[in-house]
Amino acid sequence: MQTAAGLRVSEALAFSVECRRSGFVRVRWQVSSKARSRDCRATFVPLKARVEGEYRDVPVASFLDKEIDAHLSQWAPVPVDFTSPSGKRWHQSVFFASRNRSKGVMPTASTYDYHFRKGCVAAGLVGSQGRPKYTPRILRDFFASTALAHGIPVHEVSRWLGHRSIKVTADVYGHLVPRAWSRCREVLQNAMRPAPPVSPGARPCCVWCWMWWMRPDGAGSVLDMVIMEVVFAGGSAVLNVPLQRVAGDVAPRR
């Protein structure tokens, strides 16, 4: 859930059957940091920086649906009834609730972090001092960095991550956004590159040029000029004819 959808640990632990949608997941709850405490009244709480009832939708690749189906084939979801901070009663069929009730109904982010680091050590993923090289945060970072590095707009990634402001996303992951310099040069080069030579008898290249060409008085009106500029400004990349070249090729006949 973290790698494929960029969820926070507490959000991934709260993932339920109700989150699944066609082509995306709907994230509404996160596990409370006090979920294992005996005096905890709200096992699930609203998302970070959000109020109860708010949610976010995150697009997911088809492989995640297959992973979820594989999980459900071995582990049935666990029904959990809880009371939200507002006092409303809710029901969730969660994926990662403890099957052993004596250990607490829901794991928390701190519990997950402990076992994640322990798993890294067991797998030999340690640094020079024998400490785990990775934390659960790295999985969420992978989602964000992969999306941004492949040109997904930062404001979309920000919304999927659940950041309250795009500034947070830009500050943390902005260095991963592809540089715009080379892309800008390429786009403008393709849009405004010189047109191939036009023979003297060539026909006008669009309906508005044709109207200009066929005017009896041989001179276009102001409206004709405005329409031509709009057409070519919006479609120069398709027509591959810069405005100044058009003005020279489609001159009024005398």
Task: Please write the tens of the pLDDT for every residue from 22-76.
Answer: 999 999 999 998 887 777 778 899 999 899 999 999 999 999 999 999 999 999 9
Task: Please write the tens of the pLDDT for every residue from 100-121.
Answer: 654 447 889 999 999 999 999 9
Q: Rounded to whole angstroms, how far apart are CA atoms 75 and 69? A: 10
Q: Are residues 28 and 129 in the same domain?
A: yes
Q: Are residues 29 and 125 in the same domain?
A: yes
Q: Rounded to whole angstroms, how far apart are CA atoms 243 and 192? A: 9
Total tally of structural domains belonging to the chain: 2
Residues spanned by the domain of 115 = 2-135
* H or E, element range at 185: helix 180-192
Q: Is residue 233 part of a domain?
A: yes
Q: Is residue 69 part of a domain?
A: yes
pLDDT(182) > 80:
no
pTM above 0.85, yes or no: no
Task: Please write the tens of the pLDDT for every residue from 184-224.
Answer: 788 888 888 776 665 665 555 554 454 444 455 544 454 44
Q: Are residues 96 and 12 in the same domain?
A: yes
Tokens standing for residue 125: 């993923």
Q: Rounded to whole angstroms, how far apart are CA atoms 138 and 116? A: 11
Q: Is residue 178 part of a domain?
A: no
Q: Rounded to whole angstroms, how far apart are CA atoms 92 and 70? A: 20
pLDDT(132) > 80:
yes
Q: Is residue 13 part of a domain?
A: yes
Per DSSP, what are the bridge partners of residue 90?
82
